[in-house]
Amino acid sequence: MTHLVSPRRASLLGRLRLADGERGRGAVTIRAVVFDIGETLLDDSHEFGAWADWIGVPRHTFSAVLGAVTADGRNNAETFQYFQRGFDLAAERQRREDAGVGEQYGEEDLYPDVRPALSRLREVGLWVGIAGNQTIRAGQILRGLNLPADFVATSGEWGTAKPDPAFFARVLEVAPGEPHEIVYVGDHRDNDLEPAKAVGLRTAYIRRGPWGYLWAEDPKVLKLADWRIDSLTELPALIETAQG
């Protein structure tokens, strides 16, 4: 039977990029997809805004400094040092909790493509995991949202954070399959793509959030990303096509 391919689907398939070492080897096998959290599944706007309010600076100012730190390729936690020298993020996070304005995420903070994309991946038989640089509290909140995922964990729970190889060693422990059968999806060149590739995972780069837009055409991203997407809903079809 001949299947017609819509112009949009053809465009998406045309963006599929297999790593150089896989070119010409035919179909690939994918058994699991693991997602980063911040700006991949969650829109961080609310939480960044809450931090700006907590330290008493305008949200626009906080965002601008965060953007400068991001563009410089530094850890976004360094943003706070521009406003309060010696800022202790862990201590201030606890102070927020004690004041009743701690970290909180709800359904409204999920990007709208999250549930449809994760559900579709599970429908086609893939194991779906969530693992990113977040607090223990964030892990509890995410599990409370009952996302269509087989596993949820955070760096706070694991005691190791990206880009440390130990974080991705934990990913390999929990996700089924060999490293090349696992896809890690994220928006960050240095925290997601590079360390995931270093342990042999396949990677998908999503162009959203500050980092996703900033590095979308970065030469390293173009080299390291097996797939580059604008929406998570593009991923199931791309993976199905790659698997033949």
**Domain boundaries, given as residue ranges, for the chain:** 7-42+107-242, 45-98
Record: fold of 7-42+107-242:
Rossmann fold (3.40.50)
Q: How many CB atoms lie within 10 A of CB 220?
A: 13
Residue (of 165, 218, 222, 221) closest to 196 by Cα position: 165
Between CA 52 and CA 56 the distance in angstroms is 6
Q: What is the pLDDT of residue 244?
A: 76
Question: Would you say 235 and 32 are in contact if contact means Cβ atoms under 8 Å apart?
Answer: no
Question: Would you say 152 and 34 are in contact if contact means Cβ atoms under 8 Å apart?
Answer: no
Residue 154 burial by Cβ neighbours in a 10 Å radius (0-12, 13-18, 19+): buried
Computed on alpha carbons and rounded to an integer, the radius of gyration of the chain in Å comes to 18
Q: What is the pLDDT of residue 17?
A: 37
User: Residue written as tokens 């790659």?
Assistant: 242
Q: What residues have CB less than 8 Å from 13, skipping those under 6 apart?
A: 5, 237, 238, 241
Chain center to CA of 52 = 23
Q: What is the pLDDT of residue 126?
A: 98
Q: What is the pLDDT of residue 20?
A: 38
User: Residue written as tokens 């045309």?
Assistant: 14
| Backbone CA torsion sign across 213, 218, 220, 223 | positive
Walking along the chain (244 residues) 10 residues at a time, the average pLDDT comes out as: 35 37 62 98 95 96 92 88 95 93 94 98 97 95 97 97 97 97 97 97 97 95 97 96 86
Q: What is the pLDDT of residue 100?
A: 92
Residue 176 tokens read as 């089924």
Q: Which pTM was predicted?
A: 0.87
Q: What is the pLDDT of residue 26?
A: 59
Query: How far is the CA of 186 from the CAs of 42, 55, 96, 192, in angstroms?
Result: 11, 28, 28, 6
Question: Would you say 236 and 212 are in contact if contact means Cβ atoms under 8 Å apart?
Answer: no
Q: What is the pLDDT of residue 75?
A: 86
User: H or E segment at 169?
Assistant: helix 165-174
